[in-house]
Structure 1
Amino acid sequence: MFKSYLTTAWRNIRKNKVFSFINVIGLSIGMAACLLILQYVNFELSYDRFNTNIGDLYRVYNDRYQNGKLIQHGTITYSGIGQAMQNDYPEVIAHARVEPFGNEIVTFEKRQFGDQLMIAADNSFLSMFSFPMLAGDNRTALADPHTIVISASAANRYFGVKDNDVASALGKAIIVGNDSTPYKITGVFRDVPENSHLEFELIASYITLYSGKKAWKESDYDFKDSDFWHYVQLKHGTDYKALQAKFGAFSDRYFQGNKVSGSVEKFYLQPLARTHLYSDFEYEIGKTGSATVVWGLLIIALFIIVIAWVNYINLSTARSTERAREVGVRKVIGAERGQLIRQFLTESFLINLFALVLGLALMFILQPAFNTLIGHKLSFSYLLQRSIGGYSVTVGILVLVLAGVFVSGFYPAFVLSSFRPILVLKGKFSSSKGGILLRKGLVIGQFAITVILIVGSLVVYRQIRFMNRQELGMNIDQMLMVKPPTLTQWDSTFISRTNSMIHELKQIPGVVGAATSWQPMGGETGRDFDIRRVDQDNTVHYTMRQNGISFGFLPLYKIKVLAGRDYTYTDFNPDFGKLHNIILNESAIKLLGFTSPQEAIGKAIMRGNRQWDVVGVINDYHQKSLRYPVEPTLLLPAYGTYSTISVKVNTTDMPSTIKAIKKTYDTFFAGNYFDYYFLDAHYNEQYANDQLFGKAFSIFAGFAIFIACLGLLGLSLFATAQRTKEIGVRKVLGASVGNIVLLLSRDFIILVMVAFVIASPLAWMIMHRWLQDFAYRIDIEWWVFGFAGLLAVTIALATISFQAIRAAMASPVKALRSE
């Protein structure tokens, strides 16, 4: 019986080649796009799920309030927090502090390795997290000062050992940064998976920070110096929200309101599984993605596949009149309704099977381009990765696909099998009003989705373009950023040596200027929490961002001095305690209550327990992306061994210029590792998730629109075929080609316009919500909807017109004979 169903289904598919082709192509494109998107979604949702304790691991974050306002929302907090939580709450069974060193220089036997990603962590870190040790004991590897564990790749890089011989790296010693004390290698771990929000190749023992000659005592157990990250492990089955509700008392106990830190502290827990996608935190050390991108693309994937299934339903039910006699004859000779339903479901299954095979082929063809778009090397295997709820996403999608195949096949089967044979064979069959209304509703739904996608693409594109073109209050074009000379020890000659290097750099052809700063543009800067005016109520404290800059920094970046002056050489001093002049930005003087930049000049402010004199006021500039507002900022006249060197270049011979810059750098800071990057690329990395969303949104929206057009083309072909005689009669009576095209197009265009009316408010609500994530954003103007509606009508008209014009220009004699 099943063989008979397959044979009949195959014959029907071959008989109706055009409609079968439209169905298969639409479904295959939908499936390919859906599978590609699901790879990315499953990969993003799989972050950190390799950890055995994933359900019990949390990171601590805190909000800081000053004068009733939120001044910091970040994962950075005090060194004593984790230990205090474990002491106070039995639900906390372990904690680990993490201090990111960033990109360090590792030296082994006079060989240097730059940009080695390193963190320091408590000994408990390796037991809480699942980073398997290939050699060494994870229970004791980080128990002693100046011990370190490294990745298998790092072991191969430094010592040439292979995976089967990593144990030979144990006991070897390496120099990290400018620390003269070697670090002993006590373990080698398997390389950190790509889907880990924490990235590192080396883990130094945390105890090193607060032991030895250069002890950083605040890193031991402190509630004043906020520069540390905490992870806690809760007792299995603990309701973390119930525990979190107790943290109000925790804050009162350790911070006494704002007496200890100068701000009100509120602590929270974030499940480790959410750290990658749900991060709106400052001072983020993890690798972050965007939940908006992931869920947005998943919704588009569902839109695409639903549009493809709608096409199948529409075309199958629209062709019901052609198959009515087939059903009538089958019923007369004894076919039961169940048999007919199975027959049509088999046909649906066969078309979907063809589409799936073709869709998989398309997926493999498009995979390289898709991987380039998202910046990951994904493959079909990523659909099988464990993500939220185990494998529920993959299983859920498979169930959804099977359900979609069944539903898209079942409804046409139900309709076709319900025909009454007597009426059909007498020629009295006609399409039901319910079926016609359903098809119209489905077309409206398809194009409502199309309009939403067009509006969404326009808004995303305009917002990204707005951010890229917005004036930053500074100039970052052609700025080469040289990594700081971190291996150099600070001494009284460092400032003069840096100034001499800058002078020499300016002599290089193609170099316009140079300067240094503690933090580069586009990077997170530190905060001062205890700023106040000398001439006002000293009980009112303010918070500002801070950065240390060298002589010539402001003109190099074309930052304007609005009042007062820039720094001169006499403002700088190797003894930081002797510095007293300071420059503020516009937001800072407004925060302090000055009515104009000129009023602030000559005034004194307190920074902690020291008085500083305001000598200059500069324009606001965007240190970070336009997702964030400009913050009150103070600039200190300060150099540092960790200051990045900005070099403005203007040359077509970049290799020679960089070679000359390196030679000058090596002359003044011999023994350091020379490396560089371009600031504009670094700054724009802040928009990586938004740019990915914009590109992916537009591309897959295009797929959805194309599939919708395929369905519309199929319906127009059928509508034209159904009205062949009418078209012939109208032409004989004098109807023009334009009249015929309008006749055939009018009903479809009305449906598209109804879709536009329904979709516009939905599109506005969705995109308005998306724009709320940006401090600086565009307005959604009326013309965006007008353009989207016009484009949707144009696309629909172009799709329909081809067949309509062809029918209108056909010979009326042939049309009348067709009856």
Structure 2
Amino acid sequence: MNILKTIKSNLRVSKRIKAFNLLGLSISFGVFIILALYIYNEYTFDSNNQKSENIYLIEINNLNQGRKHPFLPNPLGDYVEDQLGDIKSHCTIKSWDGMYSKKSDIENTFDLSLFSVDSTFTSFFTFNIIRGNKTPLYGKDKIILSQSAATRIFGDEDPIGKQILKNYREPLTVEAVYEDLPVNSSFYAQDGFCSFITYNWVNEWSEWSFFSFVKLADGANVDAVNAKLNQLDKMQDNCYDDDGEQIRQLSLTPLSDLHFKSAFGNGNIKLVNTLLIVSILLLVMAFVNYLNFSFADLPKRIKNVSLRKISGGSRNEIYLYDSFVAGFIITVAFIIGLGIAQNILHLYPDLFGYEIKMSSNFSLLLVLYLLLFVFGVALYLLSTGVLNRVEPIKALKGMVPLSIKRGTSKQILPVMQYVVAITLLAGVLLIYKQLDFIKNYDLGFEKENILVLRTTGDITKSEDTFADELLKNPNISDYAYSQFVPGEVGMGWGRSIDGKIVNYKAWPVDERYLNFMGFEIVNGRSFLSNIKSDENNFIFNEAAVTKFGWQENIIGKKMPGFDFEGDVVGVVKDMKYASLYEEVQPMCFWLTSTRHNCLSLKVSGNNLAQTINYIEETYSKFEKRFPINYFFLDESLNKQYLQSEKQGRLIIYASIIALFIALIGSLGMVIYSCEYRVKEIGVRKANGARAIEIVKLLNKSIITQVLIAFVLALPLIYYALSKWLESFAFKTEVSWWIYLLSGFMVLVITIASISWQSWRAATRNPIEALRYE
């Protein structure tokens, strides 16, 4: 009961300071909990896989570019398993996304994110099969679905044995349903997995579009296996040029590193590390405020403690009582923080690109609470130590030592806060600038008002007639066919040219596509309008010409295709056909009358709804079986950066909260100053000082602290922002105005937030102030 009374009486002292303290801690804890959950999930990616030991992904490193990628030929898996005794088994997989429908209801289509996989897949990776065959995917044309995908497609029906169709014609039989994988799994985004595809091109060494996983024997030396991989005959042909110089190198990436260190994963270690730093800084700022507020509370706490000493209380008892007070504050703040975090995660479940549930992270939350509790109590007891050094009689007479009034922490800790706030605000400005830079970057082609329609077999049989019919609408001005559109060029070729193996992307198009997209020819010519006279010829981009050293004799060079050989007729200016995270890679346009999977239409922005209705009506005349499937190119391209935008917003939100915490700290320092300078303010007022002069006096030290912090923050801003931009191949600059604006904004916001408290103290009746003393 005595402890409860002590906590209650302590909380009654300086209620305003306690309220600010609790507010700052609660918000900080809430944001810290959210960021900690995300960071923990990122750092523990693929930890759910119980079979991860000795599993590696084979990747190839282009030494000249310093770039690693996981796309390799399918036959590689069998080959390395046969050649190397250290490799027990392999599993090859390939992305097999597409448009699907139930065989019983082909009118309703849905997109599925799938991998086509070897029969060894479920022996490599951990799955909890909840329905159907426990050892699936050993037969042809089978598919297993995640629980959520099965529910989305079949509802309450039993999906086992049901068939779904890929592109309306390739049947896959549902063999099993597995429990949804955790969000921090590299396969979380997949709706399912199907039997390995059986097309003829699958077994071509020239088709570089597969992922190859291998399982090493127990005790195998990874470095030794890496060395052996690069000495294999097949790899000699692919990894060395005619002069014997190694230009590529195979390497093994462990499963635990896929998320951050492989192109197979989509993790951004720089972003996660940035958020880790931000979360720590946010916590530091909150505890700096906590410490400052505990010192701001000293004028009123000191008399309370002195009375307890005179009444017989020992120093240890005072430490114990204050420990309970601090523990109570930390606990309440943590509980409120949990509520804040839970509500934010509930309102914005896709905040991180995947949903995080607090209920499944109880152990982590408990660890966070214990750490915050111990740290919070320890900091609070620093002020208790100061109080214990003051003689009770002197304290009751108001004789407080200057060392308490003018502690070093009063000056240093706020400067630290402002350094962090200015740096984070500069980061916010740069993130906005970079996101705007990406959205408005000149990609080298037209992307606005282009509608892309997925074609079907019936459409491609009458593609010219279908397109001519669409052009009768005045709001549709042009069209072109291709297999891919920018942002999804997925065909990789490895070819032996001039005695060297070269790798590049291949983009099948019709004769209209380059002109339609506005691609600029810089050497040679574009494709002829008569496709038959130019079919199976190629146009390469500048990146291929430069990388492969073809500047002198590119036009007319013979290039192997699948079962043909074509001529290079031109060179196109580099365009950003992939993500702006990457440098432009070698690529060729392949003119073909086949593979016309996409019809791109240039539409007017006027009467768009009517234009789409016309397209749908025209489509229904040519395609009676399958529904229309279309999208706008600019929206599709912008999806590449949705994750970056979400991640950028995380940093922005955390930075704004950090600035808010710094402002609460500034307010605390004004309160701190006012508590100690009540008599001085009263005397100055009694001697005729104006209120504005008092405000300047109280604000002067804080303005000085912000200016010092700005100078200290400049090198930190330059380093942090330059590092963040390194993850983009195409990036904006750290402009000079970012430095000035971040410092100016913090200064203005700080002055605006503290001046009301300074004004309140300055306009106080001097008689009340002197009576208070």
TM over 0.5: yes
Q: Secondary structure at the match of 2:211?
A: strand
Measure, in 1, the Cα distance between the counterparts of 2:700 and 2:223.
Answer: 61
Measure, in 2, the Cα distance between the counterparts of 1:261 and 1:524.
Answer: 27
What corresponds to 2:179 in structure 1?
A: 190
Shift of 1:422: 4.6
Measure, in 2, the Cα distance between the counterparts of 1:459 and 1:194.
Answer: 29
Measure, in 1, the Cα distance between the counterparts of 2:604 and 2:729.
Answer: 33
Residues 317 and 415, structure 1, Cα contact 8 Å, conserved in 2: no
* 2:445 pairs with one of 462, 474, 488: 474
**What amino acid maps onto 1:145 in structure 2?**
K
What corresponds to 1:608 in structure 2?
A: 560
Residues 146 and 183, structure 1, Cα contact 8 Å, conserved in 2: yes
Shift of 1:667: 3.7
Moved more, 195-204 or 24-33: 195-204
Which runs of structure 2 are paired with 1:284-303 in the superposition (5 Å)? Answer: 284=264, 288-303=266-281
Residues 345 and 413, structure 1, Cα contact 8 Å, conserved in 2: no
Residues 474 and 559, structure 1, Cα contact 8 Å, conserved in 2: yes
**What amino acid maps onto 2:539 in structure 1?**
I
Measure, in 2, the Cα distance between the counterparts of 1:402 and 1:235.
Answer: 46
Q: Secondary structure at the match of 2:395?
A: helix
* 1:647 pairs with one of 601, 607, 629: 601
What corresponds to 2:391 in structure 1?
A: 420
* 2:315 pairs with one of 332, 337, 357: 337
Q: Secondary structure at the match of 1:631?
A: coil
What corresponds to 2:467 in structure 1?
A: 502
What corresponds to 1:619 in structure 2?
A: 573
What corresponds to 1:34 in structure 2?
A: 32
What corresponds to 2:539 in structure 1?
A: 583
Q: 1:244 to 1:159 in 2, by over 3 A?
A: same
Q: Secondary structure at the match of 2:662?
A: helix
Is 1:200 matched with 2:177? no
Shift of 1:563: 5.3
Shift of 1:333: 2.6
What corresponds to 1:363 in structure 2?
A: 341
Shift of 1:19: 0.5
* 1:216 pairs with one of 200, 203, 213: 200
Q: 1:184 to 1:805 in 2, by over 3 A?
A: closer
Moved more, 399-408 or 660-669: 660-669
Q: Secondary structure at the match of 1:269?
A: strand
Shift of 1:321: 3.4
Shift of 1:520: 1.0
Shift of 1:724: 2.3
Measure, in 2, the Cα distance between the counterparts of 1:499 and 1:727.
Answer: 87
What corresponds to 1:59 in structure 2?
A: 57
Which runs of structure 2 are paired with 1:311-322 in the superposition (5 Å)? Answer: 311-322=289-300
Shift of 1:542: 5.4
Residue segments in structure 2 that go unaligned for 5+ positions in a row:
none
What corresponds to 2:485 in structure 1?
A: 520
Q: 1:556 to 1:781 in 2, by over 3 A?
A: same
Q: Secondary structure at the match of 1:512?
A: strand
Q: 1:786 to 1:92 in 2, by over 3 A?
A: same
Measure, in 1, the Cα distance between the counterparts of 2:542 and 2:626.
Answer: 37
Measure, in 2, the Cα distance between the counterparts of 1:310 and 1:400.
Answer: 16
Shift of 1:803: 1.6
What corresponds to 1:270 in structure 2?
A: 253
Q: Secondary structure at the match of 2:467?
A: helix
Shift of 1:107: 4.8
* 1:347 pairs with one of 300, 321, 325: 325
Residues 43 and 382, structure 1, Cα contact 8 Å, conserved in 2: no
* 1:733 pairs with one of 676, 687, 696: 687
Shift of 1:249: 2.4
Shift of 1:25: 0.7
What corresponds to 1:230 in structure 2?
A: 212
Residues 460 and 694, structure 1, Cα contact 8 Å, conserved in 2: yes
What corresponds to 1:212 in structure 2?
A: none
Q: 1:585 to 1:90 in 2, by over 3 A?
A: closer
Shift of 1:500: 2.4
Shift of 1:382: 4.3
Is 1:720 matched with 2:674? yes
Q: 1:646 to 1:188 in 2, by over 3 A?
A: same
Query: Per-residue CA shift, 1:209-242, capped at 9, x if unaligned?
Result: 2xxxxx52653xx655322212233456x57xx4
Q: How many residues align?
A: 765
Moved more, 320-329 or 105-114: 105-114
Measure, in 2, the Cα distance between the counterparts of 1:17 and 1:434.
Answer: 20
Query: Per-residue CA shift, 1:92-144, capped at 9, x if unaligned?
Result: 443211122212434514635432333221211112222222344443x3223
What corresponds to 1:535 in structure 2?
A: none
What corresponds to 1:121 in structure 2?
A: 117
Moved more, 785-794 or 611-620: 611-620
Residues 142 and 173, structure 2, Cα contact 8 Å, conserved in 1: yes
Residues 550 and 637, structure 1, Cα contact 8 Å, conserved in 2: yes
Shift of 1:359: 2.3
Measure, in 2, the Cα distance between the counterparts of 1:518 and 1:217.
Answer: 16
Residues 209 and 491, structure 2, Cα contact 8 Å, conserved in 1: no
Q: 1:322 to 1:114 in 2, by over 3 A?
A: closer
Q: 1:88 to 1:10 in 2, by over 3 A?
A: farther
**What amino acid maps onto 1:250 in structure 2?**
L
Residues 531 and 543, structure 1, Cα contact 8 Å, conserved in 2: no
Shift of 1:72: 5.8
Q: Secondary structure at the match of 1:416?
A: helix
Shift of 1:194: 4.2
* 2:128 pairs with one of 119, 125, 132: 132
Query: Per-residue CA shift, 1:530-587, capped at 9, x if unaligned?
Result: 486xxxxx456755433122232233223334455432332346xxxx7354334344
Taking structure 1 as the reference length, what is the TM-score of the superposition?
0.85
Measure, in 2, the Cα distance between the counterparts of 1:95 and 1:64.
Answer: 23
Q: Secondary structure at the match of 1:513?
A: strand
Measure, in 1, the Cα distance between the counterparts of 2:596 and 2:46.
Answer: 31
Residues 563 and 616, structure 1, Cα contact 8 Å, conserved in 2: yes
* 2:664 pairs with one of 687, 707, 710: 710
Residue segments in structure 1 that go unaligned for 5+ positions in a row:
210-214, 385-390, 533-537
Measure, in 1, the Cα distance between the counterparts of 2:304 and 2:595.
Answer: 85
Measure, in 2, the Cα distance between the counterparts of 1:306 and 1:382.
Answer: 27
Shift of 1:383: 2.9
Query: Per-residue CA shift, 1:784-806, capped at 9, x if unaligned?
Result: 21221222222222222212222
* 2:234 pairs with one of 247, 255, 261: 255
Measure, in 2, the Cα distance between the counterparts of 1:39 and 1:702.
Answer: 19
Shift of 1:703: 1.0
Residues 41 and 294, structure 1, Cα contact 8 Å, conserved in 2: yes
**Identical aligned residues as a percent:** 25
Residues 155 and 161, structure 1, Cα contact 8 Å, conserved in 2: no
Residues 420 and 713, structure 2, Cα contact 8 Å, conserved in 1: yes
Q: 1:328 to 1:229 in 2, by over 3 A?
A: same
Query: Per-residue CA shift, 1:46-73, capped at 9, x if unaligned?
Result: 54333222344332222245xxx23862
Which runs of structure 2 are paired with 1:337-486 in the superposition (5 Å)? Answer: 337-384=315-362, 394=365, 396-425=367-396, 427-432=398-403, 436-485=407-456
Residues 349 and 409, structure 1, Cα contact 8 Å, conserved in 2: no
Residues 331 and 373, structure 2, Cα contact 8 Å, conserved in 1: no
Residues 230 and 239, structure 2, Cα contact 8 Å, conserved in 1: no
Q: 1:540 to 1:71 in 2, by over 3 A?
A: farther
Measure, in 2, the Cα distance between the counterparts of 1:80 and 1:40.
Answer: 38
What corresponds to 1:570 in structure 2?
A: 530
What corresponds to 1:660 in structure 2?
A: 614
* 1:99 pairs with one of 94, 97, 120: 94
Q: 1:437 to 1:154 in 2, by over 3 A?
A: closer
